[in-house]
């Protein structure tokens, strides 16, 4: 027997974000028939749709299946009542970023457009304070050299510290998420350890194989793989740049292999993000409702990539406003790297944790 414990505020938030007419769901089960994730004994996503209609936040936050959903949109395409289950699950994931955020206020300001100025102001103030402490809070004279503006030792140590801090806070949130996954599955026993189960889902992570099952959104897998591997390549190049700075071999020449790799990563990101943005703008029927969180992530990543290319050109061409662009680039880096547990980009972490948990309880796909 299920005890119904409706959360009216949660249901209102769900409707506001998803723009779904939740109460129209007639429990026909078409979504469960078309969803490639639905196991025979658990009618996903039909049962989640009735829980959403009843405002059962406790059944939907920390729900493994909601995070296994790869937003293919097939359920929304075939739903005879236009209830858009895919958008409802996307909204539940968006609410989860706030629910598991540590500290809570960061989850709030990064998921509500009215707090965007504060979200921007935080890195502006902190980066300015670091530059002030480094004694370089001014535009340097002479040829463009970013290390004269933000000395490498200060840049690498401060951003590394902040990144470890955010990952630590993110792990606390993910730990709570993991505990909720276990609470939602009281009859399942976890087997194996985290690493073993992580290895068992490596193929899905590396190849995004489930994305191939999307019949409504054919280009989605290609775009995701480009952004996923473009970003990993960018991280690899950045790690090398930090090493080069430590051994005083920075800046790198235009034809340096790592510069070339960085530019390849930028092209991959541009193409992947371009497809994602175009799909959201021009193919709303198949790609569903796009929320503030979707756009914040896509635009931040697009600005990060564009500003990375532009500051490279600004250095070689000695542009007078190169340092202003560099400062803007650092704000974009902050939005992607430091804010990761609180934004849509955090879905990578939540999804991997849910996949590992699913593997640990032997959650079978159809």
Query: Which residues of the shown chain bind ligand SF4 in the complex (CB under 6 A)?
Result: 25-31, 34-35, 37, 45-46, 49, 69-75, 79, 81, 83, 85-86, 89
Which one, 34 or 356, has the nearer CB to ligand SF4? Answer: 34
Which one, 85 or 262, has the nearer CB to ligand SF4? Answer: 85
Query: CB atoms < 10 A from the CB of 306, how many?
Result: 18
Which one, 48 or 180, has the nearer CB to ligand SF4? Answer: 48
Query: CB atoms < 10 A from the CB of 294, how many?
Result: 18
- From the CB of 363, what's the least distance to ligand SF4, in Å? 14
Q: Are 262 and 240 in contact (CB under 8 A)?
A: no
- From the CB of 76, what's the least distance to ligand SF4, in Å? 7
- From the CB of 93, what's the least distance to ligand SF4, in Å? 11
Report the distance separating Cα 23 and Cα 52, nearest Å.
Answer: 9
Which one, 75 or 314, has the nearer CB to ligand SF4? Answer: 75
Which one, 73 or 170, has the nearer CB to ligand SF4? Answer: 73
Which one, 323 or 357, has the nearer CB to ligand SF4? Answer: 357
- From the CB of 44, what's the least distance to ligand SF4, in Å? 7
- From the CB of 69, what's the least distance to ligand SF4, in Å? 3
Report the distance separating Cα 33 and Cα 15, nearest Å.
Answer: 24
Report the distance separating Cα 46 and Cα 28, nearest Å.
Answer: 8
The full length of the chain comes to: 366
Report the distance separating Cα 228 and Cα 262, nearest Å.
Answer: 14
- From the CB of 217, what's the least distance to ligand SF4, in Å? 9
Report the distance separating Cα 188 and Cα 101, nearest Å.
Answer: 27
Q: Are 236 and 274 in contact (CB under 8 A)?
A: no
Q: In the numeric block, which tokens belong to residue 247?
A: 């051994």
Report the distance separating Cα 323 and Cα 327, nearest Å.
Answer: 6
């Amino acid at each position: 027997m299920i005890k119904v414990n409706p959360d009216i505020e949660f249901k209102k938030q769900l409707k506001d974000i998803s723009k779904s007419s939740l109460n129209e769901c007639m429990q026909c089960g078409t979504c469960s028939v078309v969803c490639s994730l639905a196991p025979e004994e658990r009618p996903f996503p039909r049962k989640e749709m009735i829980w959403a209609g009843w405002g059962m936040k406790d059944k939907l936050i920390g729900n493994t299946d909601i995070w296994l959903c790869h937003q293919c949109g097939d359920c929304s395409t075939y739903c005879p009542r236009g209830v858009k289950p895919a958008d409802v699950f996307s909204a539940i994931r968006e609410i989860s970023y706030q629910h598991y955020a540590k500290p809570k206020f960061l989850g709030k300001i990064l998921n509500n457009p009215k707090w965007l100025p504060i979200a921007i102001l935080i890195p502006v103030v902190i980066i300015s304070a670091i530059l002030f402490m480094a004694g370089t809070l001014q535009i340097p004279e002479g040829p463009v050299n970013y290390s004269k503006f933000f000395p490498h030792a200060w840049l690498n140590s401060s951003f590394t510290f902040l990144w470890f801090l955010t990952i630590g806070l993110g792990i606390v949130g993910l730990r709570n998420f993991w505990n909720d996954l276990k609470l939602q599955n009281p009859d399942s026993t976890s087997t194996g350890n985290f690493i073993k189960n992580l290895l068992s889902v490596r193929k899905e992570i590396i190849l995004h194989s489930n994305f191939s099952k999307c019949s409504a959104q054919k280009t989605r897998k290609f775009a995701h793989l480009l952004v996923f591997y473009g970003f990993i390549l960018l991280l690899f190049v950045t790690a090398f740049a930090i090493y080069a700075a430590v051994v005083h071999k920075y800046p790198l020449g235009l034809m340096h292999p790592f510069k070339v790799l960085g530019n390849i990563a930028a092209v991959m990101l541009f193409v992947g993000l371009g497809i994602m943005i175009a799909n959201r703008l021009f193919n709303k029927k198949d790609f569903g409702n796009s929320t503030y969180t979707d756009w914040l992530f896509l635009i931040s990543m697009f600005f990060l990539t564009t500003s990375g290319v532009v500051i490279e050109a600004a250095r070689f061409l000695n542009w007078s406003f190169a340092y202003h662009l560099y400062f803007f680039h650092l704000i974009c880096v902050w939005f992607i790297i430091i804010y990761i547990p609180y934004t849509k980009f955090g879905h990578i972490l939540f999804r991997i944790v849910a996949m590992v948990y699913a593997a640990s309880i032997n959650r079978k796909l159809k």
